[in-house]
Amino acid sequence: MTASHRILHLSDTHLFGDGRRHYDLVDTRAALERVLERASSLGALDAVVVSGDLSEDGSAESYRILSGLLEPWAAERGAQVVYAMGNHDLAEPFEEVLGERERVVEVRGLRIVTVDSTVAGSGYGEVGEERLERLREILSESVDHGTVVVLHHPPTPPTTGLFESLRLIDPEPLLEACREGDVRAILAGHYHHALATETDPGYIPLVVAPAVANTTDVLWPAPGERAVRGSGFAVIDLPDDEPVRALIVTAPGPDDGETVYELDAADVARIAETSGRRAEQ
């Protein structure tokens, strides 16, 4: 199969501007460099999409580090870089360095639309009426090769308890707007593990990219939560006359599988209380 368009899909880089380590353990800049080295054999690409939580500290310097790594790498492959906001990102430094939070990029007749699903000061996501109306207006006109929608919070239920209170609230209006337009795929992050599914009843492919920073252990018993060292990415192929395909690739490191954090039920409840939906009710 030859793809008419190919996207490298990254997510959750969680960079620091001052070189600190994520959870005092993971060098996320080194992890991103390892991911790019692993992806270097892909050849020509149309876009590099990064679906949120680009920064851990929200600093302008962290975004400069990110663009300094990604932009030259993408340019060598003829690709545009498309950034989306995540709940750890801060709007002002994001826009200062990377440009508008919500963008429309067209690459050889394929349209990529970012949607800001963040709620300031919270970990959960929501796409309000103003953002929905913008998306509906964009999708009211079709383009030759269709549209890819990118947001941080996946419009599908989480697989682990930690993200239950950090999920996207009321995803149905977003999905309805996508079904009514020419959307061929939805790309997201946030869950820190790969997930490929379909929206129902719209049957739009939804791909959640693995994180660069660490990997959620989806088999860890509830009500606890665990993440381990490990990085990866997704490659999205969009042929004109065949189904969308997602390739999930790991970027192995020497300490893969080592525990980054382990939370018990009380820890999960505390995060839900401080950053989750219940903190807003």
Q: What is the pLDDT of residues 30-61, one digit of tens each?
A: 999 999 999 999 999 999 999 999 999 999 99
Q: What angle do CA 33, 36, 38 make, to 5 degrees?
A: 110
| Domains parsed from the chain with CATH numbers | 6-280 (3.60.21.10)
Mean residue pLDDT of the chain comes to 96
Is the pLDDT assigned to residue 279 strictly greater than 60?
A: no
Backbone angles phi, psi at 148, to 5 degrees: -115, 125
Q: Mean of the pLDDT values across residues 98-105?
A: 97
277 vs 27: CA distance, rounded Å = 30
Predicted confidence at residue 49, as pLDDT, reads 98
Predicted confidence at residue 29, as pLDDT, reads 98
Query: Sign of dihedral through CA atoms 36, 38, 40, 46?
Result: negative
Pairing relationship of beta strands 125-126 and 168-169 according to DSSP bridges: parallel
Farthest CA pair distance, the chain: 51
Question: Which pTM value belongs to this model?
Answer: 0.97
Q: Mean of the pLDDT values across residues 215-244?
A: 96
- Residue 119 identity: V
- Spatial CA neighbour of 155 closest among 134, 178, 139, 138: 178
DSSP 41: G
Per DSSP, helices labelled H in the chain are 28-38, 60-76, 91-98, 129-139, 172-180, 265-275
127 vs 135: CA distance, rounded Å = 10
Q: Mean of the pLDDT values across residues 159-174?
A: 96
214 vs 210: CA distance, rounded Å = 8
Place 2 in a pLDDT band, splitting at 50, 70 and 90. low
Q: Mean of the pLDDT values across residues 102-109?
A: 97
Residue 111 bridge partners (DSSP): 106, 147
DSSP 159: S
Q: What is the pLDDT of residues 182-219, one digit of tens each?
A: 999 999 999 999 999 998 777 899 999 999 999 999 99
Question: Phi-psi category of 203—alpha, beta or left, where left has phi over 0 and alpha has psi -120 to 50?
Answer: left
62 vs 17: CA distance, rounded Å = 4
Place 281 in a pLDDT band, splitting at 50, 70 and 90. very low
Predicted confidence at residue 161, as pLDDT, reads 94
Residue corresponding to tokens 């880089």: 13
Predicted confidence at residue 202, as pLDDT, reads 75
